[in-house]
Amino acid sequence: MKSFYKVLIVDDESILRNGLKHLCNWEDEGFKLIGEAANGKEALEMIKDKEPNIVITDLIMPEIDGIELAKIIKKEYPRIKVLVLSNISEFDYVKESFKYGIHDYLLKTEASPESMLPILKNMVKEIDSDDLNENKYNEEKALEDLTLDLILEKEIDEESVEKLFKYFTLENYCLLISEIYKEDDDNIGLEIIKEKIRDSIKETLVEYIKITTFIKNKIIIVINHNNHAQLKMLKDIEMVTKDIFENYEISPFILIEGNDIKRNIHYSYEEALIIKNKSIYFDKALIRKSDIKERSIKIKFDYDLFNSLIGKLDFNGCIHIIKKYLDIIKENTYMEEYDLKKFCQNLIYNALSSLENYDSELINISKKKIVLFKKIDIARSFNELVNIVIDTFKYIDDLSQNSLNSKNNSYIIKIVKDYVDKNYKDEISVATISKDLSINYNYLSYCFKNETSENLSSYISKVRVEKAKIYLEDFKIPIANISEMVGFSEHNYFSKIFKKYTSLTPTEYRRMVKINDKKR
C-alpha cells in the first residue's frame, strides 16, 4: 500500500481553499489532502487529530492568524513543515514569520503546480531526513540503554546482547567516567551540557567505536578498540577529556582499560567509581588507576583543640590546625571525596554555630551556610576545597576582630558585674548571664578573663562570699540561712567556697568577728 505525505490547507477564503484542492492530482504527486480549515484555531484542532506532515496556510485570518499558528506548530509540533501563502502587500509580514518556524512561502498569485510542487517536494526531503535522523537517534539510544544495562549488570535478552555485540566487535575497551557538577535544579541546562559533551566525544573520537551515555549527571563513555590503535587512542582521549574538563564544571575523568566487555565492563565501572572517590586530590582532567597510591595512615582530627580555639575566638589557630590536618590527608589520600567534603562542612558548621548569637554580621554569614556547603559540594579540586574553608575562617576572623574592636569591653564588664551584684542570690552562672544579656557564651568568658584576669565563675563566687561576710556580721541570722541568701543551695558547698576565698569557715569567720567586737 502506497504511503502519502499528509497535507492540511488553512485559509479563511473558501475560493482559495477550493482552488488549492484542485491544483493538481495530489495523490499522483505523493500527497494526500487530509482536510481544510478556515482559521488557525480550526487548524490546530485538526492537527491534533490528523497529524499532517505539511500545513499550507494563509497569513491574515481571524481567531488565530498564520504567524501565531506557525509559532504554535514550531513549539508543539516541530516535525510539521509550514508553507505560507501571501499577497505581495504582506511581504514584510512574511519576513517576520520566518523566525517563527515557517519553512517557505509563496505568493498567492503564483500558486500553480509548477511553483508549488517543487517547494512541497523539498519539504518532503526534509521530512525524510528528519525521519532518518530520528531512526538513527533511536538506534543510538537503544545501544546506550543496552550498554548501561551491561555496566549495571541488568538482565539483557539474547537478541539485545547480539545487537550490542554486533556494535562492539573488538577485543579491548576503555571505560571513562566523570560527573557534571550542578549548582541548582536546572535540568534543561544539564541536558544541554550533556549534548555538548556527547558532540565533543563524537567529533573528536570519530574513528573509534564508542558509546557516550549518562546516569543522571554522571558521564559514561565506552570505547572499543584494537591493541594496535591503543597509543593513538589514548592521546586522543587525553586531548578530548582535557578540552571538556576545561570548558565544563565536571570532575576529572577516570580511565579504566580492559578486555572482554561482556564479562568485565561491570567490574571496570565499580573500579572507576572507587578511584573517582579519590579524584579530588588530582588537579588534572584524566586519572588512571596507576595514579592512586593506597596508604593506610589515618590520623584523627583534634576536635577538642579545635573547639577550644573557637571558644577563645582564635581563628588563626583554627586555620593552622586545619591546614596541617588537610596536608596530611592530601599526602596520604586516605579520605574519600564525600567524607572529605563532609569534614570541611562540619568545620564551618561548628564555627558558625558557636558564634551565631554573638554578632549580627556573624548571624548573616551563618545563614549562608547552605551556600557555602553547596560550594564545597561542587568543588572540583583539593586546593579549591581548602581555599573555601580557609577563606571562610579568615572571613569569620575578620568579622569577630572588627566586632571585638568596636565593642567597649570595659562597658561589658561593668554590666556583667552589675548583673552579678543584683542577681547573686539566684542560681546564676556564665550560661544564664550569657542568655540574659544576649552575649555569646564563648565571647563572654573570653572577654571577662581578658579584661579582669579571672574567670567569671570565680568572680560570681567571690561576690557571694563578700555578701556572706556582711550577713555573718549580723549574729541574728543563722549561718544555714546565709548560704541560701547568697545563692548557694547546699550549705556544705557554701562552707567550702567561703573557706577557699577567706581561709576560714563561716563559723570561724563569725567567731572572729565576735572577738574583734569585744576588743573594741
Return the domain boundaries, the chain.
Answer: 5-130, 168-291, 303-406, 409-519
Residues 323 and 361 sit within 8 Å (Cβ to Cβ) = no
Assigned C-alpha cell, 261:
566487555
Residues sharing a CB contact under 8 Å with residue 81, sequence separation 6 or more, in sequence order: 53, 54, 55, 103, 123, 126, 127
Distance CA 467, CA 480 (A): 14
What pLDDT sits at residue 1?
44
The DSSP letter of residue 250 is B
Helix (H, G, I), strand (E, B) or coil at 23: coil
Q: Which contiguous run of DSSP H or E holds residue 295?
A: none
Q: Tell me: the pLDDT tens digits for 82-136?
A: 888 877 555 566 655 565 667 777 887 777 888 888 888 888 887 776 665 555 5
Residues sharing a CB contact under 8 Å with residue 299, sequence separation 6 or more, in sequence order: 325, 328
| Pairing mode of beta strands 253-259, 172-179 | antiparallel
Q: What is the largest CA-CA distance in the chain?
A: 140
Residues 354 and 311 sit within 8 Å (Cβ to Cβ) = yes
Residue identified by cell 565544563 is 248
Assigned C-alpha cell, 286:
584524566
Q: Tens-of-pLDDT digits for all 520 residues of the chain?
A: 457 888 899 888 888 888 888 888 888 888 888 888 888 888 898 888 888 888 898 888 888 888 888 888 888 888 888 888 877 555 566 655 565 667 777 887 777 888 888 888 888 887 776 665 555 556 778 888 888 888 988 888 888 888 888 888 888 899 999 999 876 666 667 888 898 998 899 889 988 989 999 988 899 999 998 888 888 999 999 999 999 999 998 999 999 999 888 889 999 999 999 899 888 888 889 999 888 776 666 788 999 899 888 877 788 899 999 999 999 888 888 788 899 999 999 998 888 776 654 554 455 555 677 788 888 988 888 999 999 999 989 888 877 666 555 455 676 788 888 899 999 999 888 888 888 876 777 778 877 888 888 899 999 999 999 999 999 988 889 888 998 899 888 888 899 999 999 999 999 998 888 877 766 5
Residues 433 and 416 sit within 8 Å (Cβ to Cβ) = yes
Helix (H, G, I), strand (E, B) or coil at 392: helix
Q: Report residue 331 CA to chain centroid gap.
A: 27
Distance CA 373, CA 370 (A): 5
Spatial CA neighbour of 422 closest among 436, 410, 407: 436
End-to-end CA distance of the chain: 135
As assigned by CATH, the class of the 409-519 domain is: mainly alpha
Residue 503: phi and psi, rounded to 5, are 70, 10
Q: How many CB atoms lie within 10 A of CB 151?
A: 22
Q: Which contiguous run of DSSP H or E holds residue 257?
A: strand 253-259
Residues sharing a CB contact under 8 Å with residue 172, sequence separation 6 or more, in sequence order: 224, 225, 226, 227, 230, 257, 258, 259
* Strand extents, DSSP E, 140-252: 172-179, 209-215, 218-225
* Strand extents, DSSP E, 355-446: none
Residues sharing a CB contact under 8 Å with residue 69, sequence separation 6 or more, in sequence order: 10, 40, 43, 44, 55, 57, 82
Residues sharing a CB contact under 8 Å with residue 137, sequence separation 6 or more, in sequence order: none
Q: Tell me: the pLDDT tens digits for 275-288?
A: 998 888 888 899 99
What pLDDT sits at residue 147?
86
For 5-130, CATH gives 3.40.50.2300
Helix (H, G, I), strand (E, B) or coil at 370: helix
What burial class does residue 405 get, using C-beta atoms within 10 Å of its C-beta: 0-12 exposed, 13-18 middle, 19+ buried?
A: exposed
Q: Which contiguous run of DSSP H or E holds residue 6?
A: strand 5-10
Distance CA 252, CA 282 (A): 8
Residues 9 and 36 sit within 8 Å (Cβ to Cβ) = yes
Distance CA 245, CA 267 (A): 25
What pLDDT sits at residue 360?
46
Q: How many CB atoms lie within 10 A of CB 350?
A: 15
Residues sharing a CB contact under 8 Å with residue 106, sequence separation 6 or more, in sequence order: 83, 84, 85, 86, 115, 116, 119
Return the CATH fold of 168-291. Answer: Alpha-Beta Plaits (3.30.70)
Residues sharing a CB contact under 8 Å with residue 59, sequence separation 6 or more, in sequence order: 65, 66, 67, 84, 85, 86, 90, 93, 94, 97
Distance CA 42, CA 22 (A): 21
Burial 117-140 (b: 16+ CB within 10 A, else e): bebbeebbeebeeeeeeeeeeeeb
Q: Report residue 494 CA to chain centroid gap.
A: 57
Distance CA 356, CA 253 (A): 40
What pLDDT sits at residue 136?
52
What pLDDT sits at residue 132?
55
